[in-house]
């Protein structure tokens, strides 16, 4: 009898879950135990099910993948976590690795490579797709020599702008930030624009980098 790798999927897009279910269903040694649409649901289902691995998205409502990783690794250190995300920002990838993920692949990864990632991670190996390795090795995906923003420059941000910056750095969308802070997504977009102008930053990757380097997220 084959010892199957027991897997859960956590993603807020059902079409993504359905695609992963189809891939898992074709592999004899893989078994899907459950699916979840957000981090909080994932943690609740973990209380009742034994798993070997979780295929986890970063951008989810209620509790994102980075937050969920910290909670899972604390309570269930033996469960392997494979991030499957569209995010390619170096600072975000590094944070995911610091939080304890065992693998990171992009959502445009082909089926064969995804199955390899699942197998490698299940064996205790770290798996990073080729593109992720390239991003971590090079800084071409962010502005060259992006400066470390000193605290006094961060102090030019209003309390609300600072909170929006923290939420952006944790991977939340404008809509999710609006819900969490009880403001409209258009107001969030205005705050985001103001933050980028005040810090003289022109992309989300560097916003995340600034938040990470200045201890706004851990």
Q: How far apart are CA 200 and CA 197, in angstroms?
A: 5
What is the per-residue pLDDT for 149?
A: 59
Domain 5-137 has CATH 3.40.50.460: no
Q: Where are the domains of the chain?
A: 5-137, 151-213
Compute CA distances 56 → 132, 177, 198, whole Å.
Answer: 16, 20, 34
- Beta-sheet pairing, 80-85 with 103-106: parallel
Does pLDDT of 218 surpass 70?
no
Nearest to 32 by CA among 7, 2, 4, 3: 7
What is the per-residue pLDDT for 141?
A: 46
What is the per-residue pLDDT for 148?
A: 55
Looking at the structure, give the CATH architecture of the domain made up of residues 151-213. Answer: Orthogonal Bundle (1.10)
Confidence of residue 60 (pLDDT cuts 50, 70, 90): confident
> What string of DSSP letters covers 60-92?
-SSS-HHHHHHHHHHH-TTSEEEEEES---HHH
Rounded to two decimals, the pTM is: 0.67
What is the per-residue pLDDT for 207?
A: 79
pLDDT, one tens digit per residue, over 4-21 is 999 999 999 999 999 999
Does pLDDT of 33 surpass 90?
yes
pLDDT, one tens digit per residue, over 163-201 is 999 888 777 788 889 998 999 988 998 999 999 898 888
User: What's the mean pLDDT in 156-162?
Assistant: 90
């Amino acid at each position: 009898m084959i010892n199957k790798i027991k897997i859960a999927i956590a993603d807020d897009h059902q079409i993504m879950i359905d695609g992963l279910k189809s891939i898992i269903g074709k592999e004899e040694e893989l078994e899907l135990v459950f699916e979840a649409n957000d981090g909080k649901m994932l943690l609740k289902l973990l209380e009742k099910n034994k798993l070997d691995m979780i295929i986890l998205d970063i951008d989810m409502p209620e509790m994102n993948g980075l937050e969920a990783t910290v909670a899972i690794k604390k309570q269930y250190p033996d469960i392997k976590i494979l991030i499957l995300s569209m995010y390619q920002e170096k600072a975000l990838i590094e944070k995911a690795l610091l939080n304890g993920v065992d693998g990171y692949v992009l959502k445009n990864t082909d089926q064969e490579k995804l199955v390899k990632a699942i197998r490698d991670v299940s064996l205790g190996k770290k798996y990073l797709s080729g593109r992720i390795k390239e991003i971590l090795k090079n800084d071409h995906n962010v502005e060259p020599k992006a400066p470390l923003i000193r605290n006094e420059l961060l102090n030019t941000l209003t309390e609300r702008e600072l909170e929006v910056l923290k939420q952006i750095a944790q991977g939340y969308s404008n809509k999710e930030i609006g819900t969490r802070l009880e403001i409209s997504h258009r107001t969030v977009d205005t705050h985001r624009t103001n933050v980028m102008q005040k810090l003289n930053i022109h992309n989300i990757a560097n916003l995340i980098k600034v938040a990470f380097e200045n201890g706004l997220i851990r």
